[in-house]
Amino acid sequence: MQLIDQLNDILQSLAGFRPEMALSVSLVIVVLADLIYMRRSALHRPLLYGLTLALVVLAGGLVVAQWFQPKGFLFSSLLFLDNQAVFFKLVVTLAAAFAILHAWFTTPARLLIPDWLPILLGLLLGLYLMTMSVNLLTIYLSIELVSISSYLLTALSADRKASEGGLKYLLFGAVSSAIMLYGMSLLYGLTGTLDLTSSVVEAELAKNAPYVVYLAGFLTLAGILFKLSLVPFHVWTPDAYEAAPTPVVAFFSVGPKAAALLVLMRVLTALPANFQTPLAVVALASITLGNLSALWQTDAKRLLAYSSIAHAGFLLVGVIAFNETGFQAATFYMATYVFISMAAFLLIDLLGGPRSETHSNRRPVLQDFRGLGLTQPLFSIFVTVVMIALTGLPPTVGFTAKLLAFSSLLEAYQTSGNGWLIALFGIGLLNAVISLFYYLRIPFLLFFRPAPESAGPEASPSRPQLALAAILTLPIILFFFKPEWILQWIEGL
């Protein structure tokens, strides 16, 4: 391609790159606003949060506009804009907005400095790029942008626990990144191209022995499995979730996973080898390890961390089906999991938070929830709904998401006869029963255990906190009765 053609292609691609450009400018605006003006104002915190939220909403509006714009390749096949990318961009934008509101309404200013907001915008930019990446180079760079931002957010607090969690996150992230880069180099050596959409990829890989393709493919998938918190790249999750501020953890639980899910589906579609059996083993190990480990937890955030590992395994169930129904089920699971997970962390933060100013930096443990069902009945009902949804029981959308995922898995088994699929089906459902024992422990403590005598006075919830909790919790029930509102949208991707 001539230089003039390359320049024209770049200029034409900018029309489909507006949300990313807006986020880049937004990051600079937030940093400058923080440095130049707002640190001198008494309204520093609300103004900075309001500005960041407005910029995220603006980026989301530009993403919505992309739904009606022409789709196609950007920057010489480095990125690909389609309806799937637009949908997942909206999912991560929604999660980012909820995370900002969570921090704004619940976290004391001294516990989460506003410096995390521009880092969040950088993380959101990386997620946008991940959803459009179809080239090995852009996949790697976008994942690294997300990873570096995540490391910073985890270790941003001043306490030792945050430093330890951030360091562990960094070490495991660096290892998985190196493994992924080595796998990408093998794929490039085997195919001679970085473009996963090229027909050369399948043709050249088909010339090699299956174990060679499996080796290169699995090494490449390491970074994606790391972002999804799947076994064996899950070890960082409990420590990072425990160390990072709760609003940040809430975003970690859905944002990177949503973008990684789309990257995983794109990569698996491009590779000619059948990864059904190996991924079934990964999903089975993740579901089982996550659920069994969560049974012994006393810290609320660590419990939800192991829960997120198990849910990543459930999320993978739809992908393993390797059919259109399965991909739609995985997308539906991810879209609805945003509300379930964000609501879980918000309510844990509200109910398990400090009962007095002298313990404002204490992390919530399960015993903090004893007796709160009588003093905080509405929030306790919200928690019960969320825990039922995480278990996968009706009348919540968690039941619908699991039903669609396992239905697609059963359909795939009937087509292929792969024994690992039916094993995943049976053991996965058994694990859903196991999860009852730790998910319902919190509602049990709320309503059937008395409050500790040493408990201090409880802060009454504010109207913004109540409104945000309701906005996150009510869709969990609504989408159980009206799943077609999302499914019809997903079917048109």
pLDDT tens digits, residue range 111-148? 567 788 999 999 999 999 999 999 999 999 999 999 99
Amino acid at 103: A
Region 89-99: mean pLDDT is 95
Cα–Cα dist 129/134, whole Å: 10
Distance of CA 161 to the CA centre of its chain: 22
Output the pLDDT for position 454: 59
Q: Please write the tens of the pLDDT for every residue from 99-112.
A: 999 998 886 655 56
- With 0-12 / 13-18 / 19 or more C-beta atoms within 10 angstroms meaning exposed / middle / buried, residue 449 is middle
pTM of the model: 0.93
Q: Phi and psi of 16, rounded to 5°?
A: -100, 10
Output the pLDDT for position 210: 85
Output the pLDDT for position 469: 93
Cα–Cα dist 434/256, whole Å: 27
Query: Hey, CA dihedral for 422, 427, 430, 435, is it positive or negative?
Result: negative
Copy the structure tokens of residue 77. 């096949």
List, in order, residues 6 or more apart from 187 with CB less than 8 Å away: 136, 201, 205, 216, 217, 220
State percent of the chain over pLDDT 70: 93
- Which segments of 14-114 does DSSP mark as H helices, in order? 18-36, 44-66, 83-106
Cβ distance 108 to 42 under 8 Å? no
Tell which residue, 453, 440, 296, 436, has the closest CA to residue 371. 453
Region 344-368: mean pLDDT is 68
Output the pLDDT for position 361: 45
Region 312-318: mean pLDDT is 92
Tell which residue, 276, 309, 316, has the closest CA to residue 401. 316
Output the pLDDT for position 453: 66
List, in order, residues 6 or more apart from 83 with CB less than 8 Å away: 67, 71, 492, 493
Q: How many CB atoms lie within 10 A of CB 358?
A: 9
Of 29-43, 216-230, 475-489, where does mean pLDDT reach its minimum? 29-43
Output the pLDDT for position 290: 93
List, in order, residues 6 or more apart from 40 with CB less than 8 Å away: none
- Which segments of 321-454 does DSSP mark as H helices, in order? 324-351, 372-375, 377-391, 397-416, 419-434, 436-439, 441-448
Query: What is the pLDDT confidence band of residue 373, given thresholds at 50, 70 and 90?
Result: confident
Of 27-36, 122-131, 185-194, 249-258, where does mean pLDDT reach its minimum? 27-36
Copy the structure tokens of residue 329. 């089920």
Region 431-449: mean pLDDT is 89
Beta strands at 72-74 and 79-81: parallel, antiparallel or unpaired: antiparallel
Strand partners, 79: 74, 133
Of 105-109, 147-151, 298-302, where does mean pLDDT reach its minimum? 105-109
Output the pLDDT for position 293: 92
Region 67-76: mean pLDDT is 88
Q: What does the mean pLDDT of the chain come to?
A: 88
Query: What is the pLDDT confidence band of residue 273, given thresholds at 50, 70 and 90?
Result: confident
Q: Is the pLDDT of residue 357 over 60?
A: no
Query: What is the pLDDT confidence band of residue 150, given thresholds at 50, 70 and 90?
Result: very high
Cβ distance 150 to 248 under 8 Å? no
Q: Is the pLDDT of residue 464 over 80?
A: yes
Cα–Cα dist 118/489, whole Å: 31
- CB-facing half-sphere around the CA of 58: CA atoms within 13 A: 16
Strand partners, 74: 79
